[in-house]
Every structure is written in C-alpha cells, then in structure tokens.
Chains A and B, each alone.
Chain A
Amino acid sequence: MSADKKRLSLGSIVRRPETGSVIGLVAVFLFFAIFGQITFLSAAGAASWLNVAATIGIVALPVGLLMIAGELDISIGSMIPASSMIFAISSGYFELPIGVGIAAALCFGLLVGFINGYLTLRTGVHSLIVTLGTLFAVAGLTLTMSVALTGTTSVAVQSPPFIKATMGDFINGIYQVTIFWWMLWAIVLGFVLHFSPIGNWILALGGDKESARNAGIPTQRLTIGLFALSSFSAAFVGVNQAILFNSAQVSAGMSYIFNTIVCVVVGGVLLTGGYGTVVGIVLGTMTFSIVNQGIYFTSFNANLASLIIGVLTLAAVVMNNSFRQMALTYAPKKAEKKAEKAE
C-alpha cells in the first residue's frame, strides 16, 4: 500500500503540466546565480526580473488561457501601446479626469477582444490570422489618431498620487506595484482555470471543440470572453506603463507578442490547446524574465540572451512533450497487474 501511495504521488508529479517548467526555472536560476555577480541574488537583482515578469505576466496569463482553449492572440502587441495612447491622450493631452482615460482605454481593450472573438467564431479563420489583422488595424489606428489629434507619437501624462501609488509606482524604490497586480491576476485566473467549472470548459474547448459544444458548453460565449480577457489585460498593462513612465509611445509593444508566447509555452501549455496550468505560466514567465534580465548581471554579451531564450524554449517544449507523454501513459497499477499475471 505504501508503495502504491508513492507511485501515485510520482504519477501526480508527472501528470502536472508545469513539472517541466519547474525544472527549467531551477536550471536558469542556478545558471545565473553561478555566472551572475552577487547582485543577481540581491533585492535589486530580484526586482529587475520581477518587474519584467509582472508586466509580461499580466498579459501572458490570459494569453495562456486562450492557448489552452485552442486560440492565439497576437493583437496584444498593438493593444498595449493603443491603450497607453488612449489613456495619455484623454487624461494627458485633453486633461480629462484620470478615471475617464483609464475607463476609455480598458473599454477599448474589451471592444477589440470582442471583435477578435466574434471574427474568429464568425469566419472560422484561425485566430492567429484574425488577431494578425487586428494587430495591424489597431496599430495603424493608434498611429493615425495620435498624429491627427496631438501631432506627435509620444504624449505625456501626469497621474494623481493615489493612481500613481496603486497603478504605477515603485515599492522601496525598486519593486513595481505591478508585481501585486500580477499576483492578483494569477490567483484569480488560477482559481478560474483549476477550481471553477469554467476551467473545465476551457480545457474541454481546447481539447475538442466539437465535443465540448456537444457536451452543452457555451463555447461561443467562452471564446469571446477569453479574447476579451486577453485584450483587457493588455490594455491594463498599457495604462499601467503610461502611469509608471508618465508618458505613452505609439511604438512600444510588439516584443510582447513573442515574449508572452515564449512564457506560456515554456510554462508547459500545449500550443494546440487542451493542456496547461496557471502555475506553469507563472513559472514560464519567471524563467523568461530571469534569462532576459539575468544576462546583464553576468560578464556575457547581452545579445546572448536571445540565444539562451531560443534554446530554452526548444528545450522546454521537448521536455514538456516527454512529460506529457509520460502523463498519458502513466498507470498507477501497472506493476501490480504484472505481479498478478505472474502468479
């Protein structure tokens, strides 16, 4: 019986989609702890990658849920600057109340998400293509509107102390408050995916859309909701960045597209859907950010970071694949069955 318990726990480890990402995180952390100077392990070192992780993580979480549901969203790359600009133009350039600017930016996020979801359902075209379309459309719209309205591509905005403190400030001078928003987001979405019935629907939707629909899941509402969530989160990050830096630029966000996908995939989410965890996405985001920032604490050429991220992504995917295979073939009573047969 005790042997059986042990097997079960091994099984439950192997079955967790984030097992690979734990290994990846430990590996890169040790790598930079060894090769980085002592500052990597200091509070400032931790802050440098945590700040990056938080900003990417807020978008990577809903993008990960979408991927688990079998969809992709790359329009976040232009959603982030678009919402920054909407906020800065409303509350900075036109000096509207701060709440109006924030609300306008977030509502635009919801709207674009709704359009992404609706078009994906309506046209049957893969969401990669649909969101590629909205990526360009939103980018073009942002540039045109900001030049037309303000005559520039960079707008300053000052936020009142309360907004600054809750949305875009540093704690102890080094940690962005965004880190708390990221944690909150991880808890909320972790609850949704793993503990609420909706999480089961998301897994089913990504596993087999047809069967999910036949099982009575409101697949259309769910798809639109998830797209709205990811665009909303991107808009939130855009507003957050504008508050933090007291300004917004038209061209800041394209790097988020690939960065979020790397975080999610390193975190053990299956690109084709149906498999993944929130803990995995969080770990993947941390791994990515450690490599992204840790390189500056080493004596290596900073350009090597991309190489490491590339290799890491491939390694993580291969490792996650083999863990998934083990999870599938894992049967707790195998040894017992064999013993029975031998008798």
Chain B
Amino acid sequence: MSDNSKPPVLELRNVDKSFGPVEVLHDISLKVREGEVLCLLGDNGAGKSTLIKTLSGVYEPTRGSILLDGQPVRFARPKDAQNRGISTVHQFGGTFPLMSIGRSFFVGVEPTKKFGPLKVFDRKKANEIAVSAVQEFGITRIDDGDRLIGGLSGGERQSLAIARAVHFGARVLILDEPTAALGVKEAAHVLRIVLEARRRGLAVIFITHQVMHALTVGDHFAVLIRGALAADFRKGEKTREEITDLMAGGEAMAELEQEIQAYLDESPETEPVQNRPASSEEAV
C-alpha cells in the first residue's frame, strides 16, 4: 500500500527529549508513510505521549530533527504542526466540557462570516460541520451542535475529538490511546475510523495498550521501552506473543505473560500475525 520510493511523510532522526536533567526520549528514529498505520506501543511511562507531543509541536526536541516530506522542519508551537497538516488527539483531552459541540470542534480554527466590517464566529456553519463530521463516523445520536460536550458519553467525546482531528488532519493523524476509555462497540468505531483514514491516504500514528487493537489496524509497529526504541518492525515480522511481550516492556514480564497465556489458552497460536478483519463484534 505504501510507496517506498517517496520520502516518508514524517520522519524522526535521532531525536532526544529531556525535561531538565530527565531524559524521556533517547535517540528515536522513526518513519511514517502515506496510507500507513504506525502503532506506537510501550508500557506506561515509556515516553509515547512525549514522542507524539514532539511530533505535534507541543515540545521541541532537545536534539535531533523532524523531517516532513524529507525536508527538516521545526514546530515551535502546535499551530505550526497543524498548519502542515498534522492533527493530533492527545491523551485525556481535546474537548471542553462546558463548550458546545460546534464551538469545541472549531477551537483555534473558528469559521467566520462578515458582519459589516467585523468578522463574527459562524455558529450555524460550525454546528453543521461538527455534527456532520461526527455523524459520518457513525455517531448519529449527536444531532444538535449547541449541546454541551460535558453531556456526552466518554465514547461520544472521544469520537468527536477524533472526527475533529480527521477533519483538520490533511496528512498525518496522531491518536494517543483513543480506545482506552471506550466500550467494545465504540472502540470498533475508532478502529474503523483509523482504517478509513488510512484508505484516504493519511499517515496514522496510533497509540494503544491493547494488542488486539494494534494488530487489527497496524502496518508498522514501534515499541518504546524507557524512552528508547526497543523494536521497529512491519506487520507479519513478529508473532502475537512477541508483540505482547514487547508491549509489556521487558523480559521479566514476558515470562509472566506466557504463563498467563498458557494458563488461559490450551493451544497457543504461533503463526505470524495475519491481516485480521476489523474486529468481529462490529459486523452487523
């Protein structure tokens, strides 16, 4: 699906990120291509959120460089990354509980209309676009852009944040644990959104702690352990067990995982990971 002759949409070269004396990311080099889903895996505190914040202009790398279409770029603020088509849904965030759906959707990129010499916020347009963007993703319960975000369910809020990112993400879509707080059905929706974004040719960076979710959508996997890139491989290159062990973060965990696995599963599966259908529970 991805074209290796073209430079990657986004590339990190030897990126370090420190907060004062604490080095959170160490020598990270990664590539993301068009129409490809990169799954970023790793234990709690491994540095995944820090990595994507570096990609989305929240932090600047301490050392190393970021390349967009092969050209070095510098994102001094989130707006710079957005203007280059990089759109991010951060962990635990992105929506404002006491704002209306329409207003929240357009924070920072408000549509305006002319009112005499003045530019006014176009509430009607904002509401219409916001509502249709979420409905496109199957959340048809949302039909009134004046409703406050705080009245929506966790899944609806997350879907809204993702719909927003897809709407503004021209080239790269970054999702930090978008399925973490979601039920089975809502998580399936999110996975479908990811696949749809890939089909449209976007590069997607997807963070998750759930092996199933990663295996469902990932083309390319990168594992962070304590801020360093511990593994970088493509779909089919590692077994599900190996991935699970890597996600758990280390050797000691791997044994425990295997014990549990053996305990739960009479016949552990050992064949390489196949392209699975986008989760079975959503097939209606």
Contact = CB atoms under 8 A, between A and B. Distances in A.
A213 interface: yes
Contact of B94 (A12, A197, A211, A275): A211
Interface in B5-47: none
A203 B108 contact: no
A207 B99 contact: yes
A143 interface: no
B108 A215 contact: yes
Contacts of B99: 200, 203-204, 207, 274
A330 B151 contact: yes
Contact of B98 (A8, A12, A270, A332): A270
B147 A330 contact: yes
Among B93, B95, B96, B110, find the residue whose CB has the most chain A CB atoms closer than 10 A: B96
Interface string A172-207: 000000000000000000010011110111011001
B282 interface: no
A240 B90 CA distance: 47
Given A15-B146, A196-B119, A215-B107, A328 B79 contact: no
A201 to B, nearest CB: 7
Interface residues of A, number: 36
B98 A214 contact: no
A333 B143 contact: yes
A111 interface: no
A215 B78 contact: yes
A65 to B, nearest CB: 15
A207 B109 contact: no
B180 interface: no
B98 A196 contact: no
B121 A197 contact: yes
Nearest to A8: B144
Task: Tell me the dominant secondary structure on chain B's binding face.
Answer: loop
A332 B148 CA distance: 12
Given A214-B78, A214-B88, A328 B121 contact: no
A213 B77 CA distance: 9
Interface in B104-162: 104, 106-110, 112, 115, 118-121, 141, 143-144, 146-148, 150-151
B119 A210 contact: no
A30 interface: no
A95 interface: no
A191 B120 CA distance: 8
B82 A216 contact: yes
A196 B96 contact: no
B189 interface: no
Interface string A317-342: 00000001001111111000000000
B103 interface: yes
Interface in A11-32: 11-12, 15
B146 to A, nearest CB: 7
A207 B107 CA distance: 11
Interface in A238-267: none
B46 to A, nearest CB: 20
A312 interface: no
B119 A212 contact: no
Contact of A197 (B79, B110, B151): B110
B118 A191 contact: yes
A208 B88 contact: no
A214 B96 contact: no
Nearest to A17: B98
B72 interface: no
B77 A328 contact: no
A217 interface: yes
A213 B94 CA distance: 10
A332 B77 CA distance: 38
Interface of A: 8, 11-12, 15, 191, 194-197, 199-201, 203-204, 207-208, 210-218, 270, 274-275, 324, 327-333
What 3 pairs across the A-B complex have the smallest Cβ distances? A207-B96, A216-B79, A197-B110
26 contacts: A8-B144, A11-B144, A12-B146, A196-B118, A197-B119, A200-B106, A201-B107, A201-B108, A203-B98, A203-B103, A207-B98, A207-B99, A208-B95, A208-B96, A211-B95, A211-B96, A214-B88, A214-B90, A216-B79, A217-B107, A274-B99, A328-B98, A328-B150, A331-B151, A332-B144, A332-B147
